[in-house]
Amino acid sequence: MVSYRALFGTMVPLALALLLIGSTEAQLEYGFYKNSCPHAEFIVFQEMTKIIANAPFLTGPFLRMQYHDCFVNGCDASLLLNSTNNNPAEKDAPPNQSLRGFDAIDDIKAKLEMACPGIVSCADILAMIARDSVKLTYGPYYAIETGRRDGSRSEASDTQANLQPPTSNITVLKNIFIQKGLTAKDLAVLTGAHTIGQSLCSSFTERLYNFTGRGFGLDPALDPTYVPQLMCECKPNDNTTRVEMDPGSSRNFDLAYYKGVSRGRGLFTSDDQLLHDPETKAYVERQAMAWPEEFFKDFAESMVKMGRIEVLTHGKGEIRKKCAFVN
């Protein structure tokens, strides 16, 4: 059991560092709930500690969720809304296959509703569980801005243009980040999230068995000494098996991902593509040799930036009672 003070005590220096970076729009705030629901972040962390103890594999999906939410119509928890009869929601679009744990979010929300009814948004819960997933895999505990409100639109078709598949090249990846107000550096940093969690075989098996697009061929960018292991784990057309994205270290938020990518062991084409742009390549190669402090600081900064994408604040949107449904 981590005490409130121990947890938040470690956070202060980073919070100060982030405040200095600042935001001219100042729409979100650090500690938005300090008066209205002072223990909100602690309640979430407590629940997360229990959830992850029972289901450690959820840290990857929980970290990924904020990206899937923010990139599609902003950080408004549209990802959490259920489909309705005539409208398939974002949650039911193909990229959702890398996500799990929606019911655990419902439990967290229920705890918050008991403590402070109608106060804490589902969009902020996504920011908190992403941050806590990093902490619970031995990464940094960074301060997050809160004060987002929840949206009402969620359409599966919106995901296509906003979430690039793992087969994407660096040009496409950089463009989508720039469209969202993020940079090539943010891309290199946030892709570092692949240091935890698993992937379905179907997200990369074309690199093993169909690189030519004509039913055969192996991606020469893959480390040949890593290929047999991947082929053993993932047969062609396997769409159910999951493998570690950062083998041997997928429950540790660390720099092993960058070491892997620099040696041709990035699982996805999109990982390998980081080596095809001078700025992202330099970042990967530096982190592959570094101590984690710089990456930890960069990751916190990029997550805070991503968490500002098209947010609803100041009376726009609503505070959902249940994350899967509009009020």
Ligand X SMILES: *[C@@H]1O[C@H](CO)[C@@H](O)[C@H](O)[C@H]1NC(C)=O
Sign of CA dihedral 92, 94, 97, 98: negative
Regarding 55 and contact with ligand X (CB under 6 A), the answer is no
Regarding 17 and contact with ligand X (CB under 6 A), the answer is no
User: Which two structure tokens, joined as six digits, stand for 264?
Assistant: 């041709």
Residues 6+ apart with CB under 8 A from 69: 75, 76, 77, 78, 79, 80, 123, 126
- Chain centroid, CA 49 distance in Å: 18
Nearest C-alpha neighbor of 17 from the set 309, 322, 293, 235 = 293
* Torsion from C-alpha of 229, 231, 235, 241, nearest 10 degrees: 30
Q: Pick the closer one to ligand X by CB: 10 or 237.
A: 237
User: Which two structure tokens, joined as six digits, stand for 66?
Assistant: 């904020």
Instruction: Find the shortest distance in angstroms from Cβ 16 to ligand X.
Output: 38
Q: Pick the closer one to ligand X by CB: 29 or 92.
A: 92
190 near 271, Cβ under 8 Å? no
Q: Pick the closer one to ligand X by CB: 82 or 252.
A: 82
Burial of 314 (C-beta count, 10 Å sphere; 0-12/13-18/19+): exposed
Binding residue per annotation — 213?
Answer: no
- Tokens 């929606």, residue? 102
Regarding 324 and contact with ligand X (CB under 6 A), the answer is yes
Q: Pick the closer one to ligand X by CB: 64 or 308.
A: 64
* Binding-site member from 172, 200, 231, 288 for ligand X (CB under 6 A): 172
Q: Which of residues 229-248 bind ligand X (CB under 6 A)?
A: 237, 239
Residues 6+ apart with CB under 8 A from 280: 170, 174, 184, 185, 187, 188, 274
- Tokens 């943010």, residue? 186
Q: How many residues bind ligand X (CB under 6 A)?
A: 18
- Tokens 């223990």, residue? 39
Q: Which amino acid is at 34?
A: K
Instruction: Find the shortest distance in angstroms from Cβ 238 to ligand X.
Output: 8
* Binding-site member from 96, 121, 159, 203 for ligand X (CB under 6 A): 96
Instruction: Find the shortest distance in angstroms from Cβ 113 to ligand X.
Output: 17
Selected range binding ligand X among 11-19, 33-41, 92-100, 301-309, rule: CB under 6 A: 92-100
Neighbours of 94 (CB within 10 A): 11
3-state secondary structure of 5: helix
Q: Which amino acid is at 248?
A: G
Annotated catalytic residues are: 68
Regarding 200 and contact with ligand X (CB under 6 A), the answer is no
Instruction: Find the shortest distance in angstroms from Cβ 92 to ligand X.
Output: 4
Instruction: Find the shortest distance in angstroms from Cβ 318 to ligand X.
Output: 18
Instruction: Find the shortest distance in angstroms from Cβ 96 to ligand X.
Output: 4
Regarding 327 and contact with ligand X (CB under 6 A), the answer is no
Q: Pick the closer one to ligand X by CB: 30 or 102.
A: 102
Consecutive H or E run containing 242: strand 242-244
Binding residue per annotation — 3?
Answer: no
Chain residues that interact with ligand X, rule: CB under 6 A: 82, 91-92, 96, 99-100, 102-103, 169, 171-172, 206, 210, 213, 215, 237, 239, 324
Residue ranges of the annotated binding site for heme b are 194
Residue ranges of the annotated binding site for Ca(2+) are 69, 72, 74, 76, 78, 90, 195, 246, 254
Residue ranges of the annotated binding site are 69, 72, 74, 76, 78, 90, 194-195, 246, 254
